[in-house]
Amino acid sequence: MSVRKVKGKTGVFDIVISCGYGHEEKDGKQTRKQKRHTQRVECVDMLQAIAIEKELKRQLGRAGNIIMTVSEIALLYIPWVESHQATSTVKNKKRMLFANILPFFGRMIPDYIEAPIIDQYKKKRLEETKRGKINREINLEILCLKSLITFGSDPGRRYCNEPNGKMKPLPYRRPLPEVLSKEELDTILDNMGPKHRILYYCLYHTGLRSAEARNLRTQDVHFNPDFLRVKGKGGKTRIVSMSPKLTQMIKNWIESRPVGGLCFPSRVKTKGTGVLTDIRAPLRHAMQKAGITKRVTPHMLRHSFATHNLDAGVDLRTIQEMLGHESITTTTIYTHVSLVNQQSAINRTFGDKNA
């Protein structure tokens, strides 16, 4: 490290910068000797001393391997994210970076971000919020910071060194998914218009995410065999089979629409894409007609798809593939809400309650 605290002197630092090697003559012999520029400075903290070191390196022409600050790396990281990751991921990372990460870590050198600083960040974020516990949100911010530093420490870049130690997350227990019964779903879907009914059947009968269904194109729908080619998170493509009911519904729908383009286009083009942005409104209207007052979201149909398949005896690995989960650990959460499977296990062990 070229910046060192001077022992016994608060706010005093020594900056030592290597300026290469030279030769000097001693006792008639040429010897190779390293040249150094040394300067003692008074600073508020280590970060200010590092900033002075960087400026000195520029002045001395030794700026080739300067370690960047988090803000400087972010200027290069954001364009990389925009070209390599999904639109929703880009949006979330930008929000986290500009709202919280950069205001706190921006001036810091990644090499000096250690556990005590991460703990300070957690404490600050927990104290400043009035929305209750936000452990998961803070953990995602820490993960975003770690990804930025990992990007900067890549051997092909060398903007900083690798993350220093583990960035321990806050304790967080993911809540159990909320699930609708088949009867509730049928009642809601029967009260929707044709386009939104078919779109919501895609969510329920294939387990698609909202964005996946809204971006579904006619060329992604295949018949004989009947399946959808879905582009999911991170641009990963997966194949999902269609139920006979959904197959017939979507076939009739596509045949009645112009060839090509989105399966469920918006009547008003959004930012030139024509992709639906809000599918909650038709859900609310259908629930009002059906007289259902409980809280329901589009994502609950994906949860219902997974749980109902598990109840029907479908193995967890197959459900993982249909949902597009990278890890089966994510899928195992549905085993906790599958009451049918739990009751079946109890009956096998202790006997049927009707016996």
Q: Where are the alpha helices (DSSP H) in 2-134?
A: 46-59, 70-84, 87-96, 102-105, 115-128
Exactly one of 209, 214, 303, 308 is catalytic; which is it? 209
Catalytic site includes residue 348: no
325 CB neighbour count, 10 Å cutoff: 18
According to the model, what pLDDT value does residue 207 have?
Answer: 95
Query: Which residue reads 């286009």 in tokens?
Result: 265
- For the question of residue 157 being annotated catalytic, the response is no
For the chain, the structural domain boundaries read 3-59, 70-152, 182-349
CATH class of 182-349: mainly alpha
Catalytic residue among 5, 136, 233, 285: 233
Give the DSSP letter of residue 217: B
Catalytic residue flag (residue 334): yes
Active-site residue among 158, 299, 317, 336? Answer: 299
**Cβ(187)–Cβ(303) under 8 Å?**
no
Q: What is the mean pLDDT of residues 131-150?
A: 90
Helix (H, G, I), strand (E, B) or coil at 158: coil
Tell me, yes or no, if 257 is annotated catalytic. no
Range with lowest mean pLDDT among 163-167, 250-254, 296-300? 163-167
Give the whole-angstrom CA distance, residue 78 versus residue 151.
10
Q: Quick check: is 4 catalytic?
A: no
pLDDT of residue 270: 56
Q: What is the mean pLDDT of residues 75-88?
A: 88
**32 assigned to active site:** no
Pick the catalytic residue from 54, 125, 214, 302. 302
Q: Does residue 230 surpass a pLDDT of 90?
A: yes
pLDDT band at 271 (very low <50, low <70, confident <90, very high): low
Please compute Rg for the chain using Cα positions. Answer: 29
Angstrom distance (rounded) from CA 220 to CA 263: 9
Active-site entry in 125, 214, 308, 325: 325
Q: Mean pLDDT in the chain?
A: 86
